[in-house]
Amino acid sequence: MNSRQIRQSFILLLTAVIWGVAFVAQSVGMDYVGPFTFICVRSLIGGLVLLPCITLLDRLNGRQDGTASAGGRRSKEGNNGVDGKSMGDSRVMQKKADAKRLLLGGICCGLALCTASCFQQFGILYTSVGKAGFLTAFYIIIVPILGLFFGKKCGPFVWIGVVLALAGLYFLCMTESLRLGTGDILVFICACLFSIHILVIDYFTQYVDGVKMSCIQFFVCGAVSGIAMLIFERPELTQLLAAWKPVLYAGVLSSGAGYTLQIVGQKDMNPTVASLILSLESVVSVLAGMLFLNQHLTSRELFGCALMFAAIILAQLPQKKKTIGRTQNT
C-alpha cells in the first residue's frame, strides 16, 4: 500500500467516524426538535455546504482540462464553418439533456433519501444509537439481493452474509417475548429504503456529476421534509437554537463534509477496501452511544452486532462474479 492509498484510507476512516457519531447527534437533536424539523434543517445545511464544494471542484476540473484543448476546438470549428455551428448546437442540446437528467436524478435520490431518513429518525426515538447503526448498515446485505431483480447475481459470500445477518438481527432485536421493538422495525425499514436509494444513485451516477446530484438531493429532501414539518410539527426558533450543535453536526459534517470526503477518499481506491472501511460506521455508532449517551448493549445484543458485522464484511469480499458494490450517502 503506497502513501496515497494510506491517505485515502485515513480519509475513509474519518468519514466512517463522522457518520457513526452522527447517530448520537440525531438522537440528541430529538430532545429539542421533531424528526421532520431535524431532517429538514440538516438537509438544507448539507446542500448549502456542498455549493462551494461544487464551485471548487468545477474550477479544479477546469484547470485540469486546460484551455488549450478548448481553444483548439474553437479554431477547428471556425475553420469548418457550418460544421462548427452544428457541433455547437449539438453540445447545447447535450448540455440541456444532461441538466434534465441531473435534475431528475437529484429529485429521485432526494425523495428516496427523505423517506429513508424519516424512518431512521423516528426509529432512533425508540431504540439505541448502536442498534440503529447496525440495523441501518443492513442495507449492505439488501442491496445485492435487490440487484437480483436487475439481473445482477450474488456470490456465495453474500448469501452466507444474509444468513449471518438474519441471525444477528435475531440476537440484536428480538426480545424474550419474540417481538421486535418499534424502533427496530422502523430502522429496518429505513435500511430497506436506503438500499433503494443506493440503487438509484448507482444508476444516475453513470451519467451525471455525483456531488451536484447529492446537492440537489439534499435540497429536495429538505423541501419535502419541510412540508411535513409544517403539517405535523410546530417548530420554534428557540428550539432550533437549542439544538444548534447536533443540527450543525448532522448538516455540516455528516451530510456535507461526509459525502465530500467519501468522494475524495474513494478515488483510485479499491471499492471493496473502501466499503470495508466505511462499514466501520456501525461499530463507531455503538462506541459513540456508550461514550456520549451512556447506552450500553447487553451481551446478547453485542453478539448480534458481531454477527451482523461479520455479515457486512462477507458481503463486501471480492468474488469471481461481479456484484453490486457499496455506495454510502447519510
Per residue in 220-253, pLDDT (tens digit) is 999 999 999 999 998 889 999 999 999 999 999 9
Three-state SS for 165-227 is: HHHHHHHHHCCCCCCCCHHHHHHHHHHHHHHHHHHHHHHHCCCCCHHHHHHHHHHHHHHHHHH
Q: What is the pTM of this model?
A: 0.80
**How do residues 98-137 score in pLDDT, each as one tens digit?**
899 999 999 999 999 999 999 999 999 998 888 888 888 8
CB neighbour list of residue 308: distance below 8 Å, 6 or more residues apart: 134, 137, 138, 164, 165, 168, 169, 172, 282
pLDDT attached to residue 67 = 44
Q: What is the per-residue pLDDT for 178?
A: 54
Per-residue model confidence (pLDDT) at position 271: 61
- Measuring CA to CA, which residue among 36, 26, 16, 8 is closest to residue 251? 26
Cell of 178: 419474540
Residue 251 contacts residue 301 (beta carbons within 8 Å) = no
Q: What is the mean pLDDT of the chain?
A: 82
More confident residue, 320 or 166: 166
**pLDDT of the residue at 179:** 67
The yes-or-no verdict on residue 79 having pLDDT over 70 is: no
23: three-class secondary structure by DSSP: helix
Domain limits, the chain: 3-316
pLDDT at 328 over 50: no
What are the tens digits of pLDDT across the range 174-184? Answer: 665 556 788 98
Q: What is the mean pLDDT of residues 202-218?
A: 87
Q: What is the pLDDT of residues 258-304, one digit of tens each?
A: 877 877 777 667 665 666 677 788 888 888 988 898 888 888 888 88
**What is the torsion angle, in degrees rounded to the nearest 10, for the CA atoms of residue 145, residue 147, residue 149 and residue 150?**
-170
Answer whether residue 217 shows pLDDT above 80. Answer: yes
Tell me which of 49-53, 237-241, 252-256, 306-310 is least confident: 306-310
What is the model's pLDDT at position 136?
A: 86
Overall average pLDDT of the 151-174 stretch: 79
Please report, rounded to a whole number, the percentage of residues in the chain having pLDDT higher than 70: 83
Q: Which of 86-95, 228-237, 318-327 has the highest mean pLDDT?
A: 228-237
